[in-house]
A and B are shown apart, each in its own frame.
Chain A
Amino acid sequence: AQTVTQSQPEMSVQEAETVTLSCTYDTSESDYYLFWYKQPPSRQMILVIRQEAYKQQNATENRFSVNFQKAAKSFSLKISDSQLGDAAMYFCAYRRANTGNQFYFGTGTSLTVIP
């Protein structure tokens, strides 16, 4: 199994401010996909943003953007203009591109948004 590490169990951010959640992963493969998922309390996990490893350009989805550093195997999520609805567990996930269909998840970061 691939290893995905999220070193921040908990983070907090003031409403309207910016926060960055970190993620590193271990792989020997050159082609893969990376994802950030959001899991609100008692609700299902939903996709926030995805990144293909072969693309150098960082993915952006509205207030969410990533900083993908392939050589460093780092994939951080930046949330701009944080909103109360952003409060949730955030999981980083890795998926192989060519062989297997498994998604591997990090341990998650619990984000609190302070009004």
Chain B
Amino acid sequence: GQNIDQPTEMTATEGAIVQINCTYQTSGFNGLFWYQQHAGEAPTFLSYNVLDGLEEKGRFSSFLSRSKGYSYLLLKELQMKDSASYLCAVRPDRGSTLGRLYFGRGTQLTVWP
């Protein structure tokens, strides 16, 4: 089976930095994705890691340690619009036409003024 864990809720204040952790145990590993989802809306792609290390993209960074089955999403200079659910997802399959994702339950982030 696939097991992906992340905290249920987090809160932070505007302008601060927050780190959302994700641990995974999956049947295989071929990439880890972070998605942002506002209530009632579609998930939108934020970041992708397949090798160990940090990937930075503007205010968002994502880190991966494959040996530890661990990733985090770092959000800097928080804004009110960052209040959303953040979903960690693992792609377990290799192969050029296989891409299913297994998602964690999501971390609901609330940003306070």
Decide whether A and B are members of one complex: no
Q: Which residues of A contact B (CB under 8 A)?
A: none
